[in-house]
Amino acid sequence: MSTEAQFLHAIDRVFEHRLASPAVDCFARSGSYRLRLCFTDKKLGAEFLPSFLREEAGPADLEIGFLTGAESELSSLVPYPPTAHRTIALDDCFAFWFPGDLPMLYLLNRKSRRALIWMPAGAAPDWIASRPALPIMYAFSVSSPWVVLHAAAVGLKDRFLLLAGDGRVGKTTAALSCARAGWTYAGDDYVYANTTSRKIEPLYCSARLRADMAKAFPDLADVATSVSNSDGEARYELRLAGQLTPDKIRGGSLAAILLPRRQGAALPQFSPARRIDALSALNTSMMLAQLGWLDVMINKAAMTVGLAPVFFVDTGQEPHAIPDAFAEFLDRLE
């Protein structure tokens, strides 16, 4: 049996047996997709569900099963040696092996619209719980107009600003400042963008706040589920469903792309940027193409930077000044 056939067979087998009566069975919205999320264990549901936007039950676009090594034996599918990242990206089948102390196996049958996330060590790294199933959502949307972007997005009166760039440039600070000021929040880490309709949609209702910025948001830091430390940087892992009302976590139409950069301004300042600057700022998004479909990802990124005007922004030293400055900027765009 081919590797692909083994993956597809394993997905069907787990859904028909181990996930026939899951311990937790509920629905969520990620982008334009209704997800059915199945957990073999209540503890797993408690770990991952708070990052998802809950949705009413209905026909699912994608079913995702979460299970651990204690509940299902999929070790025969682990690549050898198990210490390296591995990916298979085919028409019907996607698989990704994430090695480490808490390894993860992601499997997707794009045809049957079923996916598995298997954690042989029984748990996932904290930062993965803030963006669960990200590789699956990337692979699932490859053939659609939607693209997963490493960016923040906030909106006022249905007009959204997309903030793209590397870490430590102020995306989360700007997004949380705006969310606290009553803006609509679509994400601080990863969001969906539609490359034809200009729609922005949230993937999750989580946020990842750098510990050194926590003093600006003491109320949020207090409700963090954990403090993660990936890449040597401590971050508060936040679940915002309890902090923002459901109508404040949603998407809208893209009005401008902002590229944050620190240049020492006291208050937020904007300056025109080129499309190529925006494409460069989406480099970290394009790292998702490590999982496959680099051509698709580059094409979608190039389409995205043409959806709206592009500006650099120095978000300044005062987070509380950001919402008003962004609102004035949106007014000037009209």
Partner 1 sequence: MRYTTQVPKLVTRQFDDEIILANFDTGIYYSLIGTAADIWLGLKSGASTEEIATAFAKSSAQTVTTEQIATFIDELVTENIIAPHEGNPGREPWSIQFGNPPSPPTLDRFDDLRDLLLLDPVHDVSEGGWPLKAPDVD
| Residue 320: closest CA among 217, 233, 241, 235 | 217
**From 85, 111, 168, 262, residue interacting with partner 1 (rule: CB under 8 A):** 85
Interface with partner 1, residue 4, by CB under 8 A? yes
**From 16, 21, 58, 80, residue interacting with partner 1 (rule: CB under 8 A):** 80
Rule CB under 8 A: which of 274-293 touch partner 1?
274-276, 279-280, 283-284, 286-287, 289-292
Interface with partner 1, residue 198, by CB under 8 A? no
CB of 240 to partner 1, least distance (A): 29
Interface with partner 1, residue 77, by CB under 8 A? yes
**From 38, 67, 74, 89, residue interacting with partner 1 (rule: CB under 8 A):** 89
Element at 185 (helix H, strand E): strand 184-187
The stretch near partner 1 (CB under 8 A) out of 157-165, 184-192, 215-223, 271-279 is 271-279
> How far is CA 141 from its chain centroid?
13
By beta-carbon proximity to partner 1, the closer residue of 38 and 291 is 291
d(CA 298, CA 292): 11
By beta-carbon proximity to partner 1, the closer residue of 52 and 146 is 146
The pair of structure tokens assigned to 84 is 């390296």
Q: Helix, strand or coil for residue 18?
A: coil
Interface with partner 1, residue 306, by CB under 8 A? yes
Interface with partner 1, residue 42, by CB under 8 A? no
Question: SS3 for 240-287, per residue?
Answer: CCCCCCHHHECCEEEEEEEEECCCCCCCCEEEECCHHHHHHHCHHHHH
**From 23, 24, 60, 88, residue interacting with partner 1 (rule: CB under 8 A):** 88
- Give the up-direction half-sphere exposure of residue 4: CA atoms within 13 A in the CB hemisphere: 10
CB of 257 to partner 1, least distance (A): 12
The stretch near partner 1 (CB under 8 A) out of 29-37, 57-65, 77-85, 314-322 is 77-85
Q: Which residues pair with 38 in a beta bridge?
A: 25, 65
Q: Helix, strand or coil for residue 14?
A: helix
* Cβ(100)–Cβ(106) below 8 Å: no
Interface with partner 1, residue 91, by CB under 8 A? no
Rule CB under 8 A: which of 94-133 touch partner 1?
95, 97
**From 76, 222, 232, 245, residue interacting with partner 1 (rule: CB under 8 A):** 76
| Residue 170: closest CA among 213, 121, 141, 132 | 213
* Cβ(326)–Cβ(174) below 8 Å: yes
By beta-carbon proximity to partner 1, the closer residue of 26 and 303 is 303
* Cβ(237)–Cβ(130) below 8 Å: yes
Residues that bind partner 1 (CB under 8 A): 2-4, 6, 76-80, 84-90, 95, 97, 274-276, 279-280, 283-284, 286-287, 289-292, 294-295, 298-299, 301-303, 305-306
